[in-house]
Structure 1
Amino acid sequence: MYDSPTFTKQSRLQWYAQKSRMNRPMFKIIGTATSRNGVKRYQVVDLNGQGITGYITAKTAYSTRLYYTTRPSRVTVINPDGLNAYTKKSLTGKSIHYRQGQVLKVKRVVTHNLNTRLVLSNGRYISGNKKLVIAGKYKMPKRVQAKTAVNRYDTVRLTKRNRHYTKKSQAVFKVQGWAYTNANNFRKGDTLRYKVAGGYITGNSRFVKVIE
């Protein structure tokens, strides 16, 4: 993010690392501008806790719409905490909670204020936020096996080790969900972790392999 539509090292306000889909930084567009060379920019407000205003690139290789505007036939819940469905498009009247990994059929897309909602086949409404759901059936491993010695931890940051598995054990884990580190640190990239019974393990393919 820069304080001017013409991007220079001196005008840079903030750096945002490339993140996994569920952890990507969000911005509200409040205007457009062009650089001295005529390149389009978005004037935005940072929605990630900083609250600062500046300019970011408008190139689609770097940014995209936060909400679905066309109907995907189905979506998969990717938010680690799951997703609530509601009886009203204002997302009030909580009806059902869907866990991460569940695949939902979508009947249509409706607009509420500046955002969109996905109307499910059961008539309930969910957010059209792409950080919460992804179009299609998003397949994650059901089971992984340790290739080396691995540790299990209480947290997704892999702190507070609660168990060690030796290489000889070739431990097999049932994957209950997935998450990434540095969810709220937009200056750092993030790393995949698998949620398993009792905590979290690494998602690094050097240490675990998918067996199902």
Structure 2
Amino acid sequence: MSDGKVSEDSILTPENRWEIMKAFLHEKGLVRQHLDSFNKFVTLWIKEIVRELGHVETNQPGVYVEFLDIKVGEPEFKEIEGNRIALTPMVARIRNLTYAAPMTLTVALYENGIEVTKQEVPLGDLPVMVRSEIDPTSRLSKDELIKIGEDWRDPGGYFIVNGSEKVIVTQEDLAHNRVFVDYAKEGSNMTHTAKVISASPGYRVPIILD
């Protein structure tokens, strides 16, 4: 490209595009975007949300509750007798259960700036994406997966809710906190427009400048 024009050699042919697509799917698979997004959520985003909330004031002056940390355990379910039993994806499918893990929040009670007590509070159960970082089956070998009734070729990337496999439909969206500049619509007094999706934990709003 010497005079500002794109040479024919630099243009991808349909055959080239198919080869690139095959290489991408071979390396990433069809569900990598689901797994990456969920892994980021459970390892980073929920902690940022807790950090963003910070603490809660009480009706008593000088007394407040501070949120310290949030943890997600391993998948389990509660029997009628009250016992909690380790859960696998296959058991969840067969028994029409939700493949989920308990979440706990560590909180501390402060009075006049002095910590009075600290404890872990149950928040509920979080559905676990199959083969994600918090799914124990993601760390099992081929033989171990077969032993518990799992298909070792299953890439995961879905949830099991009441025994049914559920997948979140992928949506295309603009990257957060980045400015995108485009030509204005034909007939407009403006020459360009700028758009940014301003986002932080628990907050998201689009901003458009003409």
TM-score (norm 1): 0.25
| Larger Rg over CA atoms | 2
Higher helix share: 2
TM-score (norm 2): 0.25
Higher strand share: 1
